Amino acid sequence: MGEKDLIHLSMDELYAENQKLRQSIQAQQLLFDIASLLNNSRTPEESFTPIAVRITEMAGVEGFALYYKSDGDQKVYDLAAYAVSDKAFGVNFPNVVSCNYRFPFVILPNPKAMEIIKDDEQIAARISAGFSTKNCMVAGIRTGSEANGIIALKWSSALKEAPISHQLLESTCGLIARQLDLRMIEIKNRSNHEKILVINEQLAEKERFLNNIINTAPIGILLVKDRIIHYVNDKVLASTSYVREEVVGSHFSRFYSPGAENQEKISEFYREIEAKGMASIDATLAKKNGDPLYYEITATPGPSFETDGYFLLIGQDVTKMKLVENELR
């Protein structure tokens, strides 16, 4: 409306225009405040109570409550935040809203929402859920096809209609609904993270269990690639008297007795593993102090052999038996 048009208005009309202007400014300020609260909050939940308080500061609003879906039950909505005006008396909200069969409330956005809430079915739904029946609106809010939250708005009985415009209410609820989506994403991410932690712990426990079996096994176990030793268990170390750092990373040839290494037999040994999946060989090794060490070795392709090329060697220390045989000859 232009300046010339305002000149011809009566005092009542000027007052009405002034009220419209004030309401428009208040609406814009409310949306700005809510958007700021949402953007500046560290978590979605952190913004809900300040938003409820901000809405109840509007003239005529006695109380506002927000509900979000329970973590464990998608048909149950828990009270997330609420605020009651200092000027209101007897305004309260239920802690939980259960929707056992179908969602009973009107869902925003809906251009006819303010009329629908007056229906007997909506009034009965509010009574059943524990809300006020008059001067009250209970509605679902959403970003998708289903409600991801519920808002409850209570206003003064002196007012015939809600003191918040339908457009402002839908804009506000749209902002909140998107925040509820973020909350559900965070919950799912936390849940997935916790599941991953549990799985990792289970895998670690299995690995510890297997390592304990391998390390305490009465046979020698080695992983080699290109005859370089990448893993040995405790039995190998006990048999050879070497420490792990002296064995891992060393070429297997280092541990043969002088002149006992037969390259032709060793090459045939590895070819047989690749061809048949298993092979055996007798190895005359030497302990760290030079004493003879006789091993009967059985080998198979190791874990991820096709990509990593590891061989799993299982060795039986037969030194005592060999020494006895040598004495009897």
Instruction: Please report the pLDDT score of residue 249 as a whole number.
Output: 95
Q: Is the dihedral of CA 137, 143, 146, 150 positive or negative?
A: negative
Please report, for the domain that includes residue 142, its CATH number: 3.30.450.40
Strand order across the beta sheet in which 311-317 lies: 228-232, 220-225, 311-317, 292-301, 279-286
Q: Name residues whose C-beta falls within 8 Å of residue 84's C-beta, 6 or more positions apart in sequence.
A: 56, 62, 63, 91, 92
Please report, for the domain that includes residue 253, its CATH number: 3.30.450.20
Residue 129, domain member (yes or no) = yes
Residue 169, domain member (yes or no) = yes
Instruction: Please report the pLDDT score of residue 59 as a whole number.
Output: 67
Instruction: Please report the pLDDT score of residue 168 as a whole number.
Output: 86
pLDDT tens per residue across span 123-136 = 999 999 999 878 89
Q: Measuring CA to CA, which residue among 157, 117, 171 is closest to residue 139?
A: 117
Domain co-membership, 154 together with 61: yes
Question: Two tokens at 94?
Answer: 């239920």
Q: b/e for 137-154, b at 16 or more Cβ within 10 A?
A: bbbbbbbeeebbbbbbbb
Instruction: Please report the pLDDT score of residue 88 as a whole number.
Output: 84
Domain co-membership, 161 together with 43: yes
Region for residue 106 given its phi and psi (left: phi exceeds 0; alpha: psi -120 to 50; beta: otherwise): beta
Question: Two tokens at 104?
Answer: 């009973």
Domain co-membership, 79 together with 146: yes
Domain co-membership, 225 together with 154: no
| Mean pLDDT (whole number) for 59-75 | 81
Domain co-membership, 182 together with 70: yes
Residues in the chain: 329
Residue 206, domain member (yes or no) = no
Residue 185 has pLDDT above 90, yes or no: no
Domain co-membership, 116 together with 247: no
Residue 203, domain member (yes or no) = no
Domain co-membership, 25 together with 174: yes
Number of domains within the chain: 2
Q: Name residues whose C-beta falls within 8 Å of residue 82's C-beta, 6 or more positions apart in sequence.
A: 49, 52, 63, 64, 65, 66, 93, 152
Instruction: Please report the pLDDT score of residue 87 as a whole number.
Output: 85
Residue 123, domain member (yes or no) = yes
Domain co-membership, 94 together with 153: yes
Contact 93, 79 (CB under 8 A): yes
| Mean pLDDT (whole number) for 20-24 | 66
Q: How far apart are CA 46 and CA 69, in angstroms?
A: 16
Over the chain, what is the mean pLDDT? 84
- Residue 239 CA, chain-centre distance (Å), reads 48
Domain co-membership, 276 together with 170: no
pLDDT tens per residue across span 157-183 = 888 888 888 888 888 888 888 888 887
Domain co-membership, 136 together with 254: no
Q: How many CA atoms lie within 13 A of 198 on its CB side?
A: 6
| Mean pLDDT (whole number) for 14-25 | 63
Domain co-membership, 183 together with 231: no
Q: How many CA atoms lie within 13 A of 318 on its CB side?
A: 15
Domain co-membership, 43 together with 165: yes
pLDDT tens per residue across span 210-269 = 666 666 677 888 899 999 999 999 899 999 999 999 999 999 999 999 999 999 999 999
| Mean pLDDT (whole number) for 276-305 | 90
Q: Which domain holds residue 19?
A: 9-190
Q: Name residues whose C-beta falls within 8 Å of residue 16's C-beta, 6 or more positions apart in sequence.
A: none
pLDDT tens per residue across span 81-91 = 999 998 888 89
Predicted confidence band of residue 280 (pLDDT cuts 50, 70, 90)? very high
Residue 44, domain member (yes or no) = yes
**Percent of the chain whose pLDDT exceeds 70:** 88
Q: How far apart are CA 44 and CA 184, in angstroms?
A: 10
* pTM for the model: 0.56
Q: Measuring CA to CA, which residue among 175, 47, 169 is closest to residue 108?
A: 169
Instruction: Please report the pLDDT score of residue 6 as a whole number.
Output: 46
Residue 298, domain member (yes or no) = yes
Q: How far apart are CA 143 and CA 69, in angstroms?
A: 14
Residue 149, domain member (yes or no) = yes
Q: Name residues whose C-beta falls within 8 Å of residue 31's C-beta, 6 or more positions apart in sequence.
A: 168, 171, 172, 175
| Mean pLDDT (whole number) for 91-99 | 91
